[in-house]
Amino acid sequence: MTASVTSTEGHEGTASSGFWALTLGSIGVVFGDIGTSPLYAFREAVSGAAGHGQPVTRAIVLGVLSLILWALFTVVTAKYVLLLLRADNNGEGGTLSLMALGQRALGRRSWVLMALGVLGASMFIGDSMITPAISVLSAVEGLKLAAPALEHYVVPLTVFILVVLFSVQSSGTARVASAFGPVMVVWFAVLAVLGLVHIGDDPSVLAAINPLYGIEFLLTHGTIGLVTLGAVFLAVTGGEALYADLGHFGRKPIQFGWMFFVLPALLINYFGQGALVLSNPSAIESSFYRMAPDVLLLPLVALATAATVIASQAVITGAFSLVRQAVQLGLLPRFEVRYTSESHAGQIYLPRVNRLLLIGVLLLVLLF
């Protein structure tokens, strides 16, 4: 009897430690892209709404904040986290999983569904090349602010970082995530702390929780309102990675990480930026970095650079899952698939896909 109880307790402990490891991994891999949006999403949306050289008004700040808040609630939380994460195809997520589930529900092969699935998958593969190229290049270019002499080394340094990033993929998602997870935990914690410090600049910013501010903004700004809405959706870029990376980490770790850590940190930071701009409209020029004291600016730039590099991991692992699904559905020829975990079948590495993605990313960097 004692042995049985001990065995059960040991099994529960192992399961619990596995859940927390997967949750930490999901924070490092799945949320990297959406987690770096505070660097630019609020600033771009408010600047676009105000127009070049125009003053930033209270209505604009509260309207944009309201739109960002409800975009995160409806697009990411409701659509991806609560709904689509339940629509898995043998544990896998992504556009092709939805296509397979749709065809299974119809009981036949639908060419319309297949065309939509292939189109969505193609766009995600494109994002898997564009995101690493733009995010890493942008991060490295940011170093010029601290050291202008590094300007001529931006492209070589970007290429080096990307080559290293793609080289470590063969180690497996779990090992990559274990290295990235703690960094992103620090990143989200810093986002929350910066936001909390500055919400006190103008606590009335919390009124943006009311969706009427966002609706009123759209109704009163015409075409500019629609353009701004496009900029607002920068705050939810990377949301598709939650679903695409379902096979790597599982539904519950991703849901827990989003609901109880990532989403609160993002919202607190956005509202902190909003309060800062309400109290000092000129801060919109660089609303994120203006939140940090001067003495902490360089460390924040370094952390932000690391976070944007890590953001690339989400789309890379999502591309591996997507290509494997395409092979299984007969949409692509066979690729070599290496399983990098003895306990989690969704953690895979595709050498040829990794090489093709790297070539595409490097070409984009050189073209940019």
Three-state SS string across 98-158, please? HHHHHHHHHCCCCHHHHHHHHHHHHHHHHHHHHHHHHHHHHHHHHHHHHCHHHHHHHHHHH
Among candidate residues 237, 250, 236, the one with its CA nearest the CA of residue 93: 250
Under a CB-based contact definition with an 8 Å cutoff, are residues 50 and 277 in contact?
A: no
Strand partners, 348: 339
Give, in order, the Cα–Cα distances in Å from 306 to each of 156, 168, 248, 340.
17, 15, 22, 24
Measured at the CA of 343, the angle between CA 330 and CA 308, to 5 degrees, comes to 75
- Residue 54's H or E segment, with its range, is none
Instruction: Look up residue 193 and give its two tokens.
Output: 């702390």
DSSP calls for 156-213: HHHHHHHHHHHHGGGG-HHHHHHHHHHHHHHHHHHHHHHHHHHHTT-GGGGGGGSHHH
> What pLDDT, on a 0 to 100 scale, did the predictor assign at position 337?
72
Going by the DSSP 8-state scheme, the letter that residue 80 receives in this structure is I
CA dist 18 and 343 (Å) reads 10
Beta carbons within 10 angstroms of residue 101's beta carbon:
14
Can you tell me which residue has the tokens 């470590």? Answer: 168
Query: What does the pLDDT read at residue 210?
Result: 95
Give me the sign of the Cα torsion angle 85, 89, 93, 97.
negative
Position of tokens 């998602």? Answer: 173
Instruction: Give 10-residue mean pLDDT values along the chain (368 residues).
Output: 48 64 81 84 88 81 95 91 75 70 76 84 82 77 67 85 86 66 92 95 94 92 84 81 70 89 96 95 86 84 83 78 79 75 65 90 88
What is the per-residue pLDDT for 14? 54
> What are the residues facing 222 on neighbouring strands?
none
The predicted model scores a pTM of 0.78
Q: What are phi and psi of 338, to 5 degrees?
A: -110, 125
* Residue reference for tokens 């496009």: 230
Tokens of 54: 């125009």
